[in-house]
Amino acid sequence: MKWSRSRTVKVFAVGATAALLLTACSGKADTPGTNPTDSAAPAEPVELSIAYWGDFGLTDLVPKYEAENPGVTIKLLEGEYNAQHEALQQQLIAGSGAPDIAAIDEGFIVQFKGQGDKFTNLLDLGAADYESKYLPWKWQQSLSADGAVQIGLGTDVGGLAMCYRRDLFEAAGLDPDRTAVGASWPTWDDFISVGETYVAASGKKFIDNATNVFNPILGQQEIGFFNTDEQLVMDGGPKVAFETTQAIIAAGLSANVAAWSAEWDAAFTNGDFAVLACPAWMTGHIRDVAPDLAGKWDIAAMPGGGGNWGGSFLTIPAQGAHQDAAWKLLEWLVQPEQQLAVFEAVGNLPSQPALYEDPRIIDRKDAFFNDAPTVVIFSDMAKALTPQYLGLKSGPVRVAVENVINDIQGGGQPNDATAWARAISEAETAAAG
């Protein structure tokens, strides 16, 4: 999903309807002792660890859980996106060192669900009660092929749009209205044309980084890096996405600032770029790094028809010593009230579609993004989405191809046919590794 979130999607009717929805989404009767928030303190004090990246909204939720569950303390292990997944793989191989709860991104979930014996099967703990609550494709992403093992429950999905600076568009003579902006770039060729107009008028770059456009374009293709037989298929969707990205670089649109760097964060404010591909979870980051630009950022439709980029799962490695306590915490984190709190705090779009009808989501206008109806924009894409199959090695292959794109931007790789040949070679190496 995606670029590395140093990363990482809420919503109830009021009154009696709210109570019904809470009961439905929890899969539990609303009676004392059955809701995951109603259990007593553990017999012995326990410390649970959660490994993740970016902003899962955990900083605000953890104190609440600890207050409701005396004797439980939670240690947050935040790290970089790729590094967290690499560390988890090493811990699983070693048979020790894994956290009690490990977040896994969609780009790596196929790799890890193929090692189902190294995770607690959540179906044994009652997770089947949640199947009907999730977007069908989200539930399937972490489920074994035979349906016997479920290694994770989904947190967010990454419905896609484009975030852009209204003030910079207007200064460059472009209509800043979100409907007009979306209508101006129905295709990626149109997007390049708009970008060239912007660069010519402003003297500044249009997008943040070409890799952050490559991934959404790839996600719009019928087949990504792998088919369902786990065969690397570079001449289909990856070639289309790579060549389109080459055209974007050739047009001079990329500021070539690395995602999650200090330079990137500063660029949200200083105008080094005007547009970036924007999964739902990115809205919280923009708000955090550019707090003084409320109302100057906005959200428009994605060229090429939208898509999904990102979305994570919470899993319980089997080697952990606190399986029951970890499940209790995981189950609490995916309840509607917590999912709503995360949405309101950081913008992550929940994986449970019933929540999209809650007034706290559907009626919400985001003042920071010029009163954009963020949930309507992102959830419509999530509900209609049929995601690509993500192969066992999709994560490493994506990184390998991104490295070639970054070298093109940096001048270390000519932007010609040799770049595609190198991308194929690097992808093949990563797929075989």
Domain boundary among 326, 354, 375: 375
pLDDT in tens, 244-295: 999 999 999 999 999 989 999 999 999 999 999 998 888 989 999 999 999 9
266 shares a domain with 124? no
Q: Which two tokens stand for residue 157?
A: 């999905």
88 shares a domain with 153? yes
294 shares a domain with 167? yes
131 lies in some domain: yes
422 shares a domain with 340? no
351 shares a domain with 288? no
Residues in Cβ contact with 146 at an 8 Å cutoff, skipping those fewer than 6 apart: none
367 shares a domain with 331? yes
**Quick one: average pLDDT of 80-109?**
95
324 shares a domain with 241? no
208 shares a domain with 153? no
Can you give the pTM of this predicted structure?
Answer: 0.76
CA distance 288 to 405: 28
424 lies in some domain: yes
Residues in Cβ contact with 172 at an 8 Å cutoff, skipping those fewer than 6 apart: 197, 198, 201, 202, 274
CATH of the domain at 353: 3.40.190.10
297 shares a domain with 201? yes
Q: Which two tokens stand for residue 300?
A: 């428009």
pLDDT in tens, 188-200: 999 999 999 999 9
pLDDT in tens, 237-252: 999 999 999 999 999 9
388 shares a domain with 348? no
User: What pLDDT is stored for residue 36 in this prediction?
Assistant: 56
User: What pLDDT is stored for residue 88 in this prediction?
Assistant: 98
Q: Which two tokens stand for residue 80?
A: 């970089």
111 shares a domain with 53? yes
pLDDT-derived band at 345 (thresholds 50, 70, 90) equals: confident
Give the range of the structural domain holding residue 47, as residue numbers without chain letter: 15-157+310-375
pLDDT in tens, 37-61: 444 555 689 999 999 998 899 999 9
pLDDT-derived band at 385 (thresholds 50, 70, 90) equals: low
1 lies in some domain: no
CA distance 350 to 155: 6
115 lies in some domain: yes
8 lies in some domain: no
265 shares a domain with 347? no
